[in-house]
Amino acid sequence: MPGANLTRIEAGERKAVVSAPIHYWVSLDLTVGAEDFASTTKVTFDAQAGASTFLDLIADQVTEVVLNGEALDPAAAFTDSRIELNNLKDHNEVVVKAMCQYSNTGEGLHRSVDPADGNVYLYSQFEVPDARRVYAVFDQPDLKAVFDFDVTAPESWIVLSNQPAHTVESVDGMTLDDTLGDHPAECIKRWVFEPTVTMSSYLTAICAGPYAQWHTEYENEDGRVVPMGQYCRQSLAEAFAKDVDYLFDITKKGFAFYAKTWGIPYPYAKYDQIYVPEYNAGAMENIGLVTIRDQYVFDSKVTDALSERRVVTVLHELAHMWFGDYVTMKWWNDLWLNESFAEFTSTLATAEATDWPDAWATFCSGEKSWALNQDQLPTTHPIVAPINDLNDTYVNFDGITYAKGASVLKQLVAYVGRERFFDGIHRYLTRHAFANATLDDLLNELEATSGRDMKAWSALWLEQAGINTIAADVEENADGTIASLTLTQSAPAEHPVLRPHRLAVGFYNEDPATGRIVRTDRIELDVDGETTVVTEAAGKPRPAFILVNDDDLTYTKLRFDAASLEFAVENLYRFDNALARAVIWLALWDMTRDAELPAERFIETTLKLLAHEAESTTFRYALSCMGTTAHHYVAPARREDVLRHVAAELWTLANAAEAGSDNQFQLVNAYLGYGEEGDAEFAANVRGLLDGTVTLDGLDIDNDMRWALVKALASVNQIDEAGIDTELAKRDTTANREFAMGARASRSTAEAKEWAWNEAIRNQELTNMQLEAVARGFAGATPELADPYVERYFAEADWIWTNRTFHMAEALLEGLWPVYADPAKLVEQGDAWLASHAEADNAFRRIVIGNLESARRSLKVRDWNAAL
């Protein structure tokens, strides 16, 4: 659908024709059937007289188009996902009636049937431009409008939108047949919602179904009482009820923190949070109706890292009510104005206003490591990225826009000072309330409050791609004091930009009383240009360890002086500060990826860290990166021995961990990923945990752990398809169907991988979550099973991109990448594919290039380790 890929030029041309006031009246009938729903849109707007433009609409059928009282031929007016509007007047009215389609991909209006009880749940997801899958609309962020929604649905349902319902009334003489899966002859109702504030179309929302509900209120800082709601599926209600009060409390703390920090109270009429099934994102900041994936409803034990991530997600979406909703970017090149600010401020709020004070360590290990990875790919881009069309936008929901942007904002706060920074933000939000803004608008306000040259800062930090490296060099006097401490900044050849940094240098030594490594001194300074001498360090005793970028104030790669590096590798687990450990660990991981630290040494450092680490996200990422190192970076001749060694150490650590602890839980789950066919000890341990003959004190074999064990057995061919089906029959739920599909795809046989490959690509009945589960199971193929799919991957890529929606194509192209295949073969065939696809869509090429670069790095790093 070429017309569905709106270009920036087209959006600008339409903006030049269409002007405010723009007002939509949208009527949706959700009682038509299980495949489609009826959509009627009336939109009024001003325009240049005599000009032409178009409405966006993705629909099965358009039955009526009326422009300024004149009926148009739908077959002629509606083509290529657009409704052409010609010979416009100064004031215009368009009416469009259509039949639109429910999705099972999380795009548009998603329809999910819960196998636990047969209930039907609907929810919308309109970012980037999928409001057009539900109603006719000028679907671009700078054509803000007022929206009036009304929805017809079964009377037993709850229907929600951005605004409170104005009226809910029965529809006389109408009943619902059984096509929706509900009870036949049920009466229907119509929900009519209050008009919205002026807002962008991608932030509108509709959710409907028999959701369980909880309510409270918040006394807003402007004196209003804000109604609050939480919702989830009925089958998850018992589990969710345990957390509702806590999540309401987190949200209220967020209201208070943001109102105080920005000087602007929450600006909308209500605040609902609805946890929805089969979501293709983490959450979405719809005004007054935030949708959140219901994997955040915990009915089994989860890691503390995931519990904290839920808090950050709740506060991230709440931050969007100001950044993105209250003030919205004009075009998607300023997406970072939404996402970077929400990521930065949600971490700040988590650290300062909740019971997760180590949130910045979490951010460093999780989000910042994501940024460093993506910023070193050939596909890296400036934070303020060039966005030529919507496909470019899709692939920019990435580690640069979110994590690098947030890291750079943390650096900006250090650079200008916190008070001046937030004064500028207050001015920015106030000046552009309910409107659209650009980077320049923000910089003007920050420049006014800080006195710094923000445009010069932006040119280096926001408008140039790539990451710097800051290396420390120490010269010592004969008495053990520091003669000089020099910081040298460098940049990659492809992005030769040196940046100004405000950072801290920490000195760390052993505390004799505790044996822990603690900070004994700290120097904060500006670093600019290639070389900076830390003058304050001269004459001070040389510490055991010198941490450049203490407190993680700036965004950079780090290289320690030789003595500090050796100390960190041997003693990382002894550092008493969670953020310091995270910063050091991330630097060691970066060195490992850059073939500067031997892979096996990194693994041993990580194993020692895992015996002591208390910060859950650092623990989680340490496990993950150790796994990548063991599978892909160690010398090929050592790979099998190293994998067996890591597996044995993880099992030992799990048995030694505190009963019922987060560490124990993570260690067991990590161990389950190291199974090899024929490993009798692994099979016996997993089978024993499943049947109860092997126990670890405090480890609960709940639903999700049980499925993790089943999948582990499947990966070593110790359970067949019938056994997996038997497990599913015990409790048939949405999540367990996904687990079962993933387990089946994980079986280490050619037949299982063939099934998974074809099911993922060809079965369009799979939901987005089922597809991802199958792809994950497939991706665990051993090298022998993965190698045949290298050629098939590149043969199928074009069909996938052409025939699937963006989100599903992305899930397939990333999820089915045969990551365990021979990297040399991947690089050879990947380079040939790129050479033959020079004119392919930029977003398509970026996905493939990102995959290919992981293989290229694996090849480089493993060969370096083999040569040691």
Residue 180's pLDDT is 47
Per-residue pLDDT reduced to its tens digit, 528-540 = 999 999 999 999 9
Residue 185 has a pLDDT of 59
Active-site residue identified among 317, 343, 367, 613 = 317
In the structure, what pLDDT confidence band is assigned to residue 729 with cuts at 50, 70 and 90?
very high
What is the structure's pLDDT at 343?
A: 96
The pLDDT value recorded for residue 183 is: 45
Rounded Cα gap, residues 750 and 168, in angstroms: 56
Distances 9 to 51, 622, 772 between C-alpha atoms, Å: 16, 44, 34
Rg of the Cα atoms in the chain: 28
Read off the DSSP letter of residue 529: S
The pLDDT-based confidence of 179 (bands split at 50, 70, 90) is: very low
Residue 617 tokens, joined: 């996200």
Q: Count other C-beta atoms under 10 Å from residue 475's C-beta.
A: 12
Q: How far is CA 234 from CA 133, 158, 475, 737, in A?
A: 27, 12, 66, 17
* pLDDT (0 to 100) of residue 392: 87
Structure confidence by residue, pLDDT tens digits, 609-657: 999 999 999 999 999 999 999 999 999 999 999 999 999 999 999 999 9
Q: Put the strands of the sheet holding 271-276 in their side by side order.
A: 212-219, 225-232, 271-276, 289-293, 283-284
Query: In order of start, what are the domains of the chain with their CATH numbers?
Result: 1-210 (2.60.40.1730), 327-461 (1.10.390.10), 598-701 (no CATH)
Q: Taking the chain, what is the end-to-end CA distance rounded to the nearest angstrom?
A: 52
Give yes or no for a contact between 824 and 860, defined as CB atoms under 8 angstroms apart.
no
User: Helices 703-715 and 721-730 sit at what angle, rounded to 10 degrees?
Assistant: 180
pLDDT of the residue at 859: 97
**Residue 317 among the catalytic residues:** yes
3-state secondary structure of 117: coil
Contact 663, 613 (CB under 8 A): yes
Dihedral angle computed from the Cα positions of residues 756, 762, 764 and 766, in that order, rounded to the nearest 10 degrees: 0
Cα separation of 241 and 237, whole Å?
6
Output the CA–CA distances (angstroms, integers) from residue 458 to 342, 405, 431, 453, 463, in the order listed.
19, 12, 20, 9, 6
pLDDT at 391: 86
Asked if residue 495 has pLDDT above 90, the reply is: yes
| Per-residue 3-state assignment (H helix, E strand, C coil) for 61-102 | EEEEEEECCEEECHHHHEECCEEEECCCCCEEEEEEEEEEEC
The per-residue pLDDT for 178 is 43
Q: Do residues 418 and 257 lie in contact, with contact meaning Cβ atoms separated by under 8 Å?
A: no
Report the run of H or E that residue 443 belongs to, with start and end: helix 439-450
pLDDT band at 386 (very low <50, low <70, confident <90, very high): confident
Please give the average per-residue pLDDT across 836-864, as a whole number. 96
Rounded average pLDDT over 698-716 = 97
**CA–CA separation, 828 and 822 (whole Å):** 10
Average pLDDT over residues 275-287: 96
pLDDT at 1: 42
- Who contacts 159 (Cβ-Cβ below 8 Å, separation ≥6)? 151, 153, 165, 191, 206, 207, 208
Q: Rounded CA gap, 360 and 584, in Å?
A: 14
Q: Is the pLDDT of residue 48 over 70?
A: yes
Write down the pLDDT at residue 770. Answer: 96
Task: Tell me which residue of 421, 492, 472 sits closest to 450, measured CA to CA.
Answer: 421
Structure confidence by residue, pLDDT tens digits, 443-479: 999 999 999 999 999 999 999 999 999 999 999 999 9
> What integer best gives the mean pLDDT of the chain?
96
Please report the pLDDT score of residue 3 as a whole number: 66
842 vs 349: CA distance, rounded Å: 36
CB atoms under 10 Å from CB of 591, counted, come to 20
The residue-averaged pLDDT of 193-221 equals 98
Model pLDDT, residue 142? 97
Q: Is the pLDDT of residue 80 over 60?
A: yes
What dihedral angle (degrees, nearest 10) is formed by the CA atoms of 772, 778, 779, 782? 170
Measure Cα distances from 604 to 42, 565, 608 in Å. Answer: 65, 15, 6
Q: How far is CA 198 from CA 142, 264, 548, in A?
A: 11, 18, 47
